Amino acid sequence: MRSFSHAEIKDYQKRILELKKEKNAIILAHNYQLPEIQDVADLLGDSLGLSREASRSDAEVIVFCGVRFMAESAKILSPGKIVVQPDNESLCPMAAMIDAEDVRQLKKEHPGAVVVAYVNTTAEVKAEVDVCCTSANAVKTIQALKEKDIIFVPDVNLGMYVKRFAKGKNIILHPGYCPTHDDITVEQVTALKNEHPGAEVLAHPECRPEVIDIADWVYSTGGMVTHSFSSPAKEFIIATEKEMVYRLRKEAEKRGIDKTFYPIATAICPDMKKITIDKLVRGLETLSPAIELPEELIGKAKRPLDRMLEIGR
Ligand code: 13P
Ligand code: SF4
């Protein structure tokens, strides 16, 4: 990945502010984006918060700084808008672990089961399922379903986490996982805890069960922001992708609150880092690469996303 000097970044950021106005564009960015991208975003958030914003924004253009499934969800929820993803090779490896045929097969094996898909899936997979969820509302979504048999795809770690709150339900899991979160170890978290015994451990539900077991709290990335500023604790160990700590430090500075955040230094999502500041400028200048999806696919994939937004956070 090319890196830029401080002066180059400032120049690019200035250009982005001009282009945003010129194109009537809004920049949505996920909490794992590079710091210089986070700094120019109109909205920084988790998958659910960004989907909500995409569904109600009145900008003509959405520039989505995040992985493909996130930009696709924005397009599905706002099909009339131009949705630009500055690097269309920024994919989510977990989303690539399941395809539409896998879902059809699971439905055949478990007739009558309701199918819940984590939003970290392709539009083709969403078109096959009943309802989507994010890490922020997965537990609530499962609890809201009246069916006993639930197929949950593709994240086995999130699925096992949800199972803890779904007594009496039969949850059928798929073996997908997030390589970035699955690699976070109990040893890494414990070492940080020994160094900072007063810190609360916040873990993302994509972590393995043994990491979840030693966490004080389990949250989506948006939930981590809310919790950090409502908790009396001053220090936090953040068991998720490392750029989340930039987001939290920025938030503490903005609010003028003294809080300290410790990242898992090795937890990096390489795909999130493909969106660089020069590509963001180019995306705004050319309004490409834009997300294009067949109308019929949008129609089918929108249903489970709309249902997710109705169930809420
Ligand atoms: P959040 O919805 O919690 O931001 O998570 C998205 C994601 O891709 C986590 O790896
Ligand atoms: Fe996908 Fe994991 Fe990256 Fe999130 S952190 S986008 S789940 S690979």
Query: For residue 114, which phi and psi values (nearest 5 degrees)?
Result: -85, 145
Alpha carbon of 107 to those of 111, 121, 150, 167: distances in Å? 6, 17, 10, 22
Q: Please tell me if the CB atom of residue 72 comes closer than 6 angstroms to any atom of ligand 1.
A: no
**How do residues 57-109 score in pLDDT, each as one tens digit?**
889 999 999 999 999 999 999 999 999 999 999 999 999 999 999 999 999 99
d(CA 126, CA 299) in angstroms, rounded, equals 10
User: Based on the domain organization, do 190 and 208 belong to the same domain?
Assistant: yes
Same domain? 278 vs 255: no
What are the phi and psi torsion angles at 254 (to 5°)? -60, -40
Contact 186, 211 (CB under 8 A): yes
Is residue 306 one of the residues assigned to a domain?
no
Could you tell me if 166 and 197 lie in one domain?
no
For residue 135, how far is its CA from the centre of ligand 1 (angstroms)?
A: 7
Encode pLDDT of 208-260 as tens digits. Answer: 999 999 999 999 999 999 999 999 999 999 999 999 999 999 999 999 999 99
pLDDT band for position 55 (cuts 50, 70, 90): confident
The band of 48, judged by pLDDT with boundaries at 50, 70 and 90, is: confident
Averaged pLDDT for residues 40-59: 91
Give bridge partners of residue 116 from the DSSP assignment.
Answer: 131, 152
Position 311 scores a pLDDT of 85
Helix or strand run (H / E) with residue 26: strand 25-30
Asked whether residue 195 falls in the same domain as residue 258, the answer is yes
User: Based on the domain organization, do 35 and 62 belong to the same domain?
Assistant: yes
Inside any domain, residue 60: yes
| Nearest atom (ligand 2) to Cα of 92 | 1
Any atom of ligand 1 within 6 Å of the Cβ of 90: no
Residue reference for tokens 């414990």: 190
Contact criterion met (CB below 8 Å) for 196 and 235: yes
Cβ pair 137, 311 in contact under 8 A:
yes
Structural domain boundaries enclosing 50: 6-91+272-286
Nearest CA to ligand 2 atom 3: 269
Q: Same domain, yes or no, for 46 and 80?
A: yes
pTM reported for the whole predicted model: 0.96
- On whether residue 305 sits in a domain, the answer given is no
For the domain that residue 103 is a member of, what is the CATH number?
Answer: 3.40.50.10800
Q: Is the separation of the CB atoms in 2 and 278 below 8 Å? A: yes
Report residue 313's pLDDT band, with 50, 70 and 90 as the boundaries.
Answer: low
157 CB less than 6 Å from ligand 1? no
- Same domain, residue pair 82 and 128: no
C-beta 120 within 6 A of ligand 2? yes
**Which residue's CA is the nearest one to ligand 1's atom 6?**
47
Same domain flag for 173 and 216: no
Domain boundary residue, one of 160, 178, 196: 178
Sheet with strand 61-65: strands edge to edge: 43-45, 25-30, 61-65, 82-84
Nearest CA to ligand 1 atom 3: 220
Tell whether 216 is covered by a domain.
yes
What is the pLDDT at residue 1?
Answer: 64
Q: Is the pLDDT of residue 14 over 70?
A: yes
List the beta strands (DSSP E) in 158-214: 170-173, 200-203
Instruction: Say whether both 169 and 204 belong to one domain.
Output: no
With respect to residue 307, please indicate whether it lies within any of the assigned structural domains.
no
- Rounded Cα–Cα distance for residues 208 and 178 (Å): 10
Q: Tell me the per-residue pLDDT of 251-310, one tens digit each, with 9 for 90 and over.
A: 999 999 999 999 999 999 999 999 999 999 999 999 999 999 999 999 999 999 999 999
Same domain, 116 and 162: yes
141-188 pLDDT, tens digit per residue, is: 999 999 999 999 999 999 999 999 999 999 999 999 999 999 999 999
Which pLDDT does position 57 carry in this prediction? 87
Look at residue 133 and tell me if it is in a domain.
yes
Assigned token pair, 202: 């916040």
For residues 204 and 223, membership in a common domain is answered with: yes
User: At which of 146, 178, 210 does a domain end?
Assistant: 178
Ligand 2 pocket, mutate which of 125, 178, 206, 208 (most atoms under 8 A from CB): 178
The reply to whether 127 and 65 lie within a common domain is no
Q: Is 135 in the pocket of ligand 1 (CB under 6 A)?
A: yes
Q: Which atom of ligand 1 is nearest to the CA of 178?
A: 10
Instruction: Work out the mean pLDDT of the chain and round it to a whole number.
Output: 96
* Domains of the chain: total: 3
Residue 304 lies in a domain: no
Beta strands in 101-146 (DSSP E): 114-118, 131-133
- Residue 144, domain member (yes or no): yes
Which are the contacts of 116, defined by CB distance < 8 A and separation ≥ 6?
Answer: 129, 130, 131, 132, 133, 138, 141, 142, 145, 150, 151, 152, 153
Q: How many helices (H) and strands (E) does the chain have?
A: 15, 12
DSSP secondary structure of 30-72? ETTS-HHHHTT-SEEE-HHHHHHHHHH---SEEEEES-HHHHH
Give the pLDDT score at 135.
96
92 within ligand 2 shell (Cβ under 6 A): yes
pLDDT at residue 4, rounded to an integer: 94
Closest approach atom of ligand 2 to CA 241: 5
* Nearest ligand for residue 177 CA: 2
d(CA 208, CA 221): 16
Query: What is residue 185's three-state secondary structure?
Result: coil
